[in-house]
Amino acid sequence: MKNILDWKFGGQILRGSKAQLPVVSELSNGQHVVNYSRRDYLGRSHGFQRTLTSLFPPLLGPEVELLSPGSLGDTDVAGVMPMQQINEFLYYIGWTLRTDVPYCNYLSVARKTADGFSKLGPILAPDIIDNGFSGTFFVVKFQRKYLGYYLSVVGWSKDENGNLNPNYNIRIATSNDALNWRRLDKTAIELEENEGGISAITVIRRKGVLHAWFSVRGAENFRTSTSGGYKIVHAFSYDGISWTRDVHFGLLPGFIDGIKSMAAYPSVYKVKDNLVLFFNGDGFGDDGIFWAWLPLNNLDYNIESN
């Protein structure tokens, strides 16, 4: 018998190779959209969006391209991956290449226009607080300010095959306008023993408690092995700054048949009495986007005593 704190599998919401990093946003008009990326024949990511025509069970409208890779010399020449939309701003990852390490990302922002989105450029670029690049980003309005949770690279290490990979945790920035950000020099979710990366955090508020889900991978064997592959972990916070990991509400590889080595890139939203989770499976989204759901009041479980 399944624990009442377990996710219930809903199905596959979007099929297709490398429909990667789904991020659901609620727009100012109350409409929900999901942003994600696909790769072209050169391996560069392009950004796409679909409207949620039904929230539960989730159904998607037609696909619209939001962003494409930049020109030579741009900070996103190697690809773009759209993330959350807040007001008129769309956050995205810009990919570029380097000679000393395999790649470099720039956490960037675009502004909504009558014709789509216009790129404004990088935010939270490397500085004296964070020397490494920034990646995935999620914003929540909390106590009359914006809190931004960003992937921060803290170093590089070689995996079991000698390939160089970044190591990253989740850090915090604040903003009054969702455009200009100030780093707090504070880690929200830190790497634990044998972990190599934490990414794609998503946050909701429930009865004064902030709940977060994020991807965690091992330092080795994370592409094809259940032991090292991405899993989804839950944490909670009362102030948005100090977070505590919890053993409940997560999602492990093997959750369903066909997802054997990876459960990654969670994105959650509330609809009536339920919480819906979008996520990728094996191969960082090789088979598209899956969804699961949980009764919302399950989050009221006394997580402090367990």
User: Can you give the pTM of this predicted structure?
Assistant: 0.94
pLDDT > 70 fraction of the chain, expressed in percent and rounded = 94
- C-alpha span between 232 and 16 (Å, rounded): 22
Residues 263-304 have pLDDT tens digits of 999 999 999 999 999 999 887 778 899 999 999 999 997 555
pLDDT at 1 over 50: no
What single letter denotes the amino acid at residue 45? S
Which residues are paired to 276 by β-bridges?
Answer: 269, 293
| Closest of 88, 84, 82 to residue 28, by C-alpha | 88
Domains, the chain, ordered by start: 8-305 (2.115.10.20)
| Closest of 136, 156, 157 to residue 148, by C-alpha | 136
- Opening angle at CA 31, ends 26 and 33, nearest 5: 65
- C-alpha span between 294 and 195 (Å, rounded): 27
- Helix (H) or strand (E) segment spanning residue 283: helix 282-285
Residue 278 — φ and ψ, nearest 5°? -100, 145
Q: What is the mean pLDDT of residues 127-135?
A: 94
- What DSSP line would sit under 49-61, residue for residue? EEEEEEETTEEE-
Contact yes or no for 33/51 (Cβ under 8 A): yes
pLDDT interval class at 224 (50, 70, 90): low
- C-alpha span between 165 and 149 (Å, rounded): 21
pLDDT score recorded for residue 44: 95
Contact yes or no for 61/50 (Cβ under 8 A): yes
The token duo for 206 is 């429930």
Residues 26-65 have pLDDT tens digits of 998 999 999 999 999 999 999 999 999 999 999 999 999 9
Q: How many residues does the chain have?
A: 306
The 3-class secondary structure across 233-281, one letter per residue, is EEEEECCCCCCEEEEEEEECCCCCCCCCCCCEEEEEEEECCEEEEEEEC
What single letter denotes the amino acid at residue 237? S
Contact yes or no for 104/118 (Cβ under 8 A): no
Residues 168-211 have pLDDT tens digits of 999 999 999 999 999 999 999 999 998 999 999 999 999 999 99
